[in-house]
Amino acid sequence: MAGNPFSGKDARPHVEGDFAREELALAYRNVALPLEALAYDVTPVGLHYTLSHFDVLRLDEGGFRLTVSGRVARPLALALADIRRLPAHTLRVTMECAGNGRGLMVPRYPSMPWLYEGVSTAEWTGAPLRHVLEEAGLERDAVDIAFLGADRGFDRGVEHDYGRSLTPADALSDDVLLAYAMNGAPLLPQHGFPLRLVVPGWFGMASVKWLTRIEALDRAFDGFQQAVGYHYRKFAGDPGVPITHAKVKSLIAPPGIPDWYTRRRLVERGTVALAGRAWSGAGTAIARVEVAVDGVWRDAVVARQAQRFTWQAWHYGWEATPGDHELACRATDARGATQPLEPDWNTNGMGNNAVHRIQVTVR
């Protein structure tokens, strides 16, 4: 690396084929859902995906304060106990990383090279954000609310605390939580202990971890992860479209048993109960899941949505015959949005919801 290794402001050039050591190291730093864990309605502790831009912080609950400042009538500095005293709300939320599927785009932007594993479901408990915003009293000229984490680092030459924003209308929704518990226990460090934002129905980048500052702004938040990162862009220089809600998507829990290295699956002949999960953004329910065996699509049975922001189980009885087969699944949500057969390419590899395909051998 020549010169200051932190000043490279240009986007990294796209690549194809094998993965760089930097991409591999990002895969290690973050937890991924092994697809057999799609079997759980709520992902077990430690298997819920993580995407931490900078370090996994070790914060002290005693010294912790959440400040609310800027265009508010009453600036606040809240201890965790203050937030725990507010009415608590628990939501079962399926969360997906906006970059999930990036590693399958061709050519590929060098970043976290998710294949399929950047999605999970957890039960988050916390105080609805709106209680805190109402206590602070947003001024009339507050047009954007910034949420800043304690985690700091560089991206494309820009030093910043991780931060994202929501409009006042989105921030005042009942569903946005200041979450201090996950699956009934205090947040783990890697999920933002002691406090994080949880924004159901959005891709995961909105759910700021290690949340320490809320700033009401009279202008659009210009933080790097809001103004530069997390856009759909079709070409270099494209101003792009900001990324918000998750997209319709589904995954198959691989049947049978694996080969250690290739992860190809061996399945016994006969009736195989294929199963998986499907979800969409903004709490939209899934209306249909189709399964393809060797390219022939058939309807699967879709379970009802247990809660508004939660993935839905699907299953399909497959009469497996000996030989090599390709399985695929495709979801359509209640608004009619469906998954494409191939990735919808964009410069930074965001929001890839192309159908999931797996290779199996039946004996």
Distance in Å, CB of 309 to a copy of itself, minimum: 22
C-alpha distances in Å from residue 341, one per residue of 9, 264, 278: 34, 21, 16
- Closer residue to a copy of itself (CB): 99 or 283: 99
Distance in Å, CB of 181 to a copy of itself, minimum: 14
Closest CA to 48 of 35, 32, 25: 32
C-alpha distances in Å from residue 46, one per residue of 39, 74, 79, 191: 15, 38, 27, 10
Distance in Å, CB of 68 to a copy of itself, minimum: 25
The structure tokens 């087969």 sit at 325
Ramachandran class of 81: left when φ > 0, alpha when ψ lies in -120 to 50, beta otherwise:
alpha
- Closer residue to a copy of itself (CB): 22 or 319: 22
Distance in Å, CB of 130 to a copy of itself, minimum: 30
Alpha helix ranges (H) inside 53-128? 80-84
Q: What is the 3-state secondary structure (H, E, C) of 137-200?
A: CECCCCCEEEEEEEEEEEECCEEEEEEEEECHHHHCCCCCEEEEEECCEECCHHHCCCCEEECC
The structure tokens 């932190």 sit at 6
Q: Is 218 helix (H, G, I), strand (E, B) or coil?
A: coil
Distance in Å, CB of 187 to a copy of itself, minimum: 11
Distance in Å, CB of 314 to a copy of itself, minimum: 18
Distance in Å, CB of 298 to a copy of itself, minimum: 25
Residues that bind a copy of itself (CB under 8 A): 1, 4-6, 12, 17-29, 31-32, 34, 36-37, 39-40, 44-48, 52-56, 58, 103, 110-111, 113-115, 117, 152-155, 159, 188-190, 257-264, 266, 324, 361
C-alpha distances in Å from residue 32, one per residue of 37, 278, 343, 352: 10, 17, 20, 16
- Closer residue to a copy of itself (CB): 133 or 182: 182
- Closer residue to a copy of itself (CB): 212 or 280: 212
| Cis amide leading into 322 (omega within 30) | no
- Closer residue to a copy of itself (CB): 132 or 252: 252
C-alpha 349 chain-centroid distance: 14
- Closer residue to a copy of itself (CB): 2 or 169: 2
- Closer residue to a copy of itself (CB): 151 or 333: 151
